[in-house]
A and B are shown apart, each in its own frame.
Chain A
Amino acid sequence: MKIVKTFLLITLFSLWLTAPHISMAADGKMVIEQNRCAGCHEMNGGKAGTIAEVLSKKAPDLFYAGSKFQEKFLTEFLQRPVRIRPAGTIFLNYTVPGTEIDQIQEPPLCASRLSREDAVAAAQHLMTLKDPDMPTGIYKPGAEFAKASAKMLFFKSGACNACHQVDMGGGDIKGGVSAPTLYDAGDRLNGDWVLSYIKDPQHWDPKAWMPKRELPDSTWQLLTNFLMTMKKSEEMRKAEK
């Protein structure tokens, strides 16, 4: 009898401990539903498998948000969205032919303007949306790496800056605009997801307009380490305020 009582007490105590998290996650789901995030974002795992489906996308997929993002970034973004894709989610939808250079027509910005409380709850819920098959614990934050080799890889052999913007120093933003900015990759993304995505973009987006290369795992690790050092400069943060 005593054992049963003790067991019940432990169970009740555990429930009490986890209750705030459960209710927060439920609230977050409600916030997302109330704000109709699914009106623009795919929340249920429907990957775009054809170009026509890609063109119909209004905003990035969120059904693996918890694998992709950092919670702190989501919490800030949901309160005050900033532009991550200079030419919009799907560049083809906002680009028109030009003589010297094609022109980008003002792509819409995410309409989310949540209160801090709602943003915290929504971010917590989004962090529960994960791809269970993604390997985790591979990226080691703060690990030493050959930065010169990583730079060569990023700027020369990989030419990643052809499509992605990076900070060349002191807020000097340079690079292509058809893909998401990378100058804040280390603030925004989960290292393990970065590694998984750059290794096989089409696993996440079957029609991603990013090349897939066959390289050794050590090379992907090196590139991930470099990408995760990219953080928004003070100058950029001030300019956003």
Chain B
Amino acid sequence: MLKKIIILSAILSIFITFTGRGKDVFGETSGDNYKLYCAQCHGLKGNGSGINKADMSVAPRNHTDTIEMSRLKDSDLYDAIAHGGVSVGKSALMPPWQGVMTDAEIREMVAYLRELCHCKGE
């Protein structure tokens, strides 16, 4: 009986440790970050149709456009996300997210954009 309790306690401790630390260790998923930070302009599906699009002077990029997205290097995507559109010669409507997402999250976001466009960079 005592053996069973000890084993159960050990399993429970491991479970609590990992679920409790999970958010800190692994952060948010890139899909969730995309929805929270990017979808307001780039759309829930990533097709450039976000709710803020209507009054924008420059349309948000369609991340599902394979041809257009293929022309961009991963480093361009990283810079645009981290430092804003101006850093890659594009619109200031794209703000810098460096102070909000971690470096790892931005790199994961670049990979997520490649999933959305089903493409690789130049």
Q: Which of B37, B44, B55, B95 contacts A95 (CB 8 A)?
A: B44
B65 to chain A, nearest CB (A): 14
Complex contacts, B36 vs chain A, CB 8 Å: 51, 54, 92, 207, 209
Q: Does B51 contact A (CB under 8 A)?
A: yes
- Contact B55–A161 (Cβ < 8 Å): yes
- Contact A92–B43 (Cβ < 8 Å): no
- B71-96 contacts to A (CB < 8 Å): 84, 86, 91-93, 95-96
- A192-208 contacts to B (CB < 8 Å): 202, 207-208
Interchain CA distance A103-B50 in the complex, whole Å = 9
Once A97-B44, A175-B55 are accepted as A-B contacts, the answer to whether A211 and B96 lie under 8 Å apart by CB is yes
Q: Does B66 contact A (CB under 8 A)?
A: no
Once A91-B51, A175-B55 are accepted as A-B contacts, the answer to whether A209 and B40 lie under 8 Å apart by CB is yes
- Contact A101–B50 (Cβ < 8 Å): yes
Complex contacts, B53 vs chain A, CB 8 Å: 101
- Contact B92–A163 (Cβ < 8 Å): no
Q: Does B35 contact A (CB under 8 A)?
A: yes
Interface of A is mostly: loop
- Contact B52–A174 (Cβ < 8 Å): no
Complex contacts, A202 vs chain B, CB 8 Å: 99-100
Interchain CA distance A87-B51 in the complex, whole Å = 8
Q: Which of B37, B49, B86, B95 contacts A101 (CB 8 A)?
A: B49
- Contact B32–A213 (Cβ < 8 Å): no
Interface string of B7-51 (1 = CB under 8 A from A): 000000000000000010000100011011101110111000111
List the interface of chain B (C-beta within 8 A of A): 23, 28, 32-33, 35-37, 39-41, 43-45, 49-56, 84, 86, 91-93, 95-97, 99-100
**4 A-B pairs with least C-beta separation:** A212-B99, A176-B52, A178-B40, A211-B95
**A–B pairs, 19, beta carbons within 8 Å:** A54-B36, A91-B51, A92-B35, A92-B36, A97-B45, A98-B49, A101-B53, A102-B43, A102-B51, A162-B93, A163-B52, A174-B55, A176-B52, A177-B51, A178-B50, A178-B51, A179-B40, A202-B100, A207-B36
